[in-house]
Chain A
Amino acid sequence: MTLNLEPNIADPDGFYDELLQAHEGLSKSESDALNARLILVLCNHIGDRDVLRNALTAARKG
């Protein structure tokens, strides 16, 4: 499996909205905690270590 960096989310605006809504009303530290949990949940779902490593690299390049 390779890391998919092409558009892959249906209804991008709707998704973005949901992401922000999940953080709605949270303090900075609560939001940080939510982000960390979200990352862990998603990473576990992906599982594949090569994909995860490539994702970390892609994110770090910013």
Chain B
Amino acid sequence: MVDVRYDIAFKLYPYEKVAAQEATAQRHPVVIVGGGPIGMACALDLGRKGTPVLVLDDHEGVGQGSRAICFAKRTLEIADRLGAGDAMVDKGVQWNVGKVFHGPDRVFEFNLQPEPGHKRPAFINLQQPYFEKFLVDAVRDAQAQGAPIEIRGQNAVTAMERHGDFVTLEIDTPDGPYTLEADWLVACDGARSPIRDMMGLSFDGRVFEDNFLIADVKMTADFPTERWFWFEPPFKDSGQSALLHKQPDDIWRIDFQLGWDIDREKELDPANVRARVDAMLGDGVDYELEWTSIYTFQCRRMKEFRHGNVIFAGDSAHQVSPFGARGANSGIQDTDNLAWKLDLVIKGLAPDSLLDSYSAERAHGADENILNSSRATDFLTPKSETSKIFRNAVLYLARQHAFARPLVNSGRLSVPCVYDDMPLNGVDAPGLPEGTRPGASCMDAPLDEGFLLDRLPGKFMIMAINTEAPKITEVDGVPVGTLSLRTESHDPTGALVKRYLGETEKALYLIRPDQHIAARWTRSTAQGVRAALLRAIGKGALQ
């Protein structure tokens, strides 16, 4: 028996009995536990690199509750690399205008006009079930082209045992239990991670004493495609803050901050939800309740994301409050960071210690996300009388004075973290732009044909701008590609110069498979590239 914990929006991987259930335990190079967005992205990335991967999920598809709705540019860029970006952007809603209210009064309005010269917008709104479905669609496409990915639905992991260099998993299915073995286990099993519990690992942090009521409503009313956020909303019983935000298919996300001492059952009663929504939308607005839920929020992370051959990614490793949309967005960056490293280690091309850098780099990312989302939560829910006085003073001043607007914090949009001062980073050259320093993810730029990031396809790349690229196609067996660009012919808008050269005439970049910059120079150097690449695959100490 496998428990059904939630309803399915899209049935994408129905249970099918496989021969392995009757055979003796089979060994897999990589097993991913959990087929949420992070597990699927991880499987897709590894499978596209040719590493066989098995995903076990205890359901048969994507859960109905939308949860995440805001997906940031970096996530879309990673999805592009994985072949899922177009579907997401085609379906998603783009918006620029946000309005902030305090009580009945409008505090200010902002327009997040995207910076020009990027293929993808700063973010899109898209229901999480669609996001996950498009990843699974991309898995199916990859499988059709021979990628060794297998998904087993209604396969619930119930026990795990570690033996030196492999683990055994007990799996429950509708046909009863079976056992399998894995050289590597990636736990993408969500915030309540059973794997983390089975290993007795801690997950410490801060619990915010607050409940948020989420109502996704379907309405065709003529509301603008904008983000409206209220502090101390004026409508009846609406709590401390409220949010109205558009999603595809005429669905609107409505969010009410209810406080700590509430009666969950009562608040979730559709009549009570409707009373709140009516008060917000005004009389006579016709809508249907699509999905409602009450959430509490935590900000916490595991100390280490890697424990031998068990690796944690996504919500199992870290959890943040949703203000700033950092959960799924940061989880996707986890797998972006992990997949190429695990692939090289499995292929014997990089030392096992390379995976320690996954933990170091992504824990750094998680800390940044936790810091940002804690700050937003503290602004939304002032924790003392004085902090509330300051919060309201900021909101008051922001109506008239531009200076106070940057202090208003209803969630800061997720941007990729820079792996500053991390051990894989190689040399930097003075005079080049700050934004593309080693550790940063590459900034997109329009080329004469297409966009730069589409030319960085998930392996190590040498990018030579206005200089000769050293003739290197591999280093210690690790494949290396080359992109040679001349700004006079390939840089129609000047974005490449601005983002990668600054005042300098020419530059050479070594770019990792996750499109983060490993090292850069202002001249061509084969020796430099070799050394930086070895360092970026964890062989730095051998230099």
**Which chain A residues have a beta carbon within 8 Å of chain B's beta carbons?**
32-33, 36-37, 39-41, 44
- What are 25 A-B contacts defined by CB distance under 8 Å? A32-B389, A33-B389, A33-B392, A33-B393, A33-B396, A36-B389, A36-B390, A36-B392, A36-B393, A37-B393, A37-B396, A37-B397, A39-B390, A39-B393, A40-B390, A40-B393, A40-B394, A40-B397, A40-B404, A40-B407, A41-B397, A41-B401, A41-B403, A44-B403, A44-B404
**Which chain B residues have a beta carbon within 8 Å of chain A's beta carbons?**
389-390, 392-394, 396-397, 401, 403-404, 407
Residues of A within 8 A of B404 (CB): 40, 44
Residues of A within 8 A of B393 (CB): 33, 36-37, 39-40
| Smallest Cβ-Cβ distance to B404: which chain A residue | A40
Closest 5 CB pairs of A and B: A36-B393, A44-B403, A37-B393, A36-B389, A36-B390
Task: Give the complex CA separation of A33 and B396 in angstroms.
Answer: 10
Query: Taking chain B's interface residues, is the majority helix, strand, or loop, or is none over half, making it mixed?
Result: helix
Task: Give the complex CA separation of A40 and B407 in angstroms.
Answer: 10
Residues of B within 8 A of A41 (CB): 397, 401, 403
Could you tell me the distance in whole angstroms from the C-beta of A62 to the nearest C-beta in chain B?
16
| Smallest Cβ-Cβ distance to A36: which chain B residue | B393
Residues of B within 8 A of A32 (CB): 389
Residues of B within 8 A of A33 (CB): 389, 392-393, 396
Task: Give the complex CA separation of A33 and B395 in angstroms.
Answer: 11
Could you tell me the distance in whole angstroms from the C-beta of A35 to the nearest C-beta in chain B?
8
Could you tell me the distance in whole angstroms from the C-beta of A28 to the nearest C-beta in chain B?
11
| Smallest Cβ-Cβ distance to B402: which chain A residue | A44
Could you tell me the distance in whole angstroms from the C-beta of A12 to the nearest C-beta in chain B?
26
Could you tell me the distance in whole angstroms from the C-beta of B152 to the nearest C-beta in chain A?
54
Task: Give the complex CA separation of A36 and B404 in angstroms.
Answer: 12
| Smallest Cβ-Cβ distance to A45: which chain B residue | B403
Task: Give the complex CA separation of A32 and B388 in angstroms.
Answer: 11
| Smallest Cβ-Cβ distance to B394: which chain A residue | A40
Q: Apart from A32-B389, A41-B397, what are 9 other A-B pairs with CB-CB below 8 Å?
A: A33-B392, A33-B393, A36-B392, A37-B393, A37-B396, A37-B397, A40-B390, A41-B403, A44-B403
Residues of A within 8 A of B397 (CB): 37, 40-41
Could you tell me the distance in whole angstroms from the C-beta of B385 to the nearest C-beta in chain A?
8
Task: Give the complex CA separation of A54 and B404 in angstroms.
Answer: 21
Could you tell me the distance in whole angstroms from the C-beta of B414 to the nearest C-beta in chain A?
24
Most buried by A among B390, B401, B407: B390
Could you tell me the distance in whole angstroms from the C-beta of A3 to the nearest C-beta in chain B?
20
Residues of A within 8 A of B392 (CB): 33, 36
| Smallest Cβ-Cβ distance to A37: which chain B residue | B393
Task: Give the complex CA separation of A41 and B393 in angstroms.
Answer: 10
Could you tell me the distance in whole angstroms from the C-beta of A38 to the nearest C-beta in chain B?
9
Task: Give the complex CA separation of A44 and B401 in angstroms.
Answer: 11
Residues of B within 8 A of A36 (CB): 389-390, 392-393
Task: Give the complex CA separation of A32 and B391 in angstroms.
Answer: 12
| Smallest Cβ-Cβ distance to A34: which chain B residue | B393
Residues of B within 8 A of A40 (CB): 390, 393-394, 397, 404, 407
Residues of B within 8 A of A37 (CB): 393, 396-397
Residues of B within 8 A of A44 (CB): 403-404
Task: Give the complex CA separation of A40 and B389 in angstroms.
Answer: 11
Task: Give the complex CA separation of A33 and B407 in angstroms.
Answer: 16
Residues of A within 8 A of B407 (CB): 40
| Smallest Cβ-Cβ distance to B396: which chain A residue | A37
Could you tell me the distance in whole angstroms from the C-beta of B395 to the nearest C-beta in chain A?
10
| Smallest Cβ-Cβ distance to B392: which chain A residue | A33
Could you tell me the distance in whole angstroms from the C-beta of B407 to the nearest C-beta in chain A?
7
Could you tell me the distance in whole angstroms from the C-beta of B391 to the nearest C-beta in chain A?
9
Task: Give the complex CA separation of A44 and B398 in angstroms.
Answer: 12
Task: Give the complex CA separation of A36 and B385 in angstroms.
Answer: 12
Residues of A within 8 A of B403 (CB): 41, 44
Task: Give the complex CA separation of A41 and B390 in angstroms.
Answer: 12
Task: Give the complex CA separation of A20 and B389 in angstroms.
Answer: 19
Could you tell me the distance in whole angstroms from the C-beta of A22 to the nearest C-beta in chain B?
14
| Smallest Cβ-Cβ distance to A47: which chain B residue | B403
Could you tell me the distance in whole angstroms from the C-beta of B196 to the nearest C-beta in chain A?
39
Could you tell me the distance in whole angstroms from the C-beta of A50 to the nearest C-beta in chain B?
19
| Smallest Cβ-Cβ distance to B385: which chain A residue | A32
Most buried by B among A32, A40, A44: A40
Task: Give the complex CA separation of A31 and B514 in angstroms.
Answer: 53
Task: Give the complex CA separation of A35 and B404 in angstroms.
Answer: 15
| Smallest Cβ-Cβ distance to A41: which chain B residue | B397
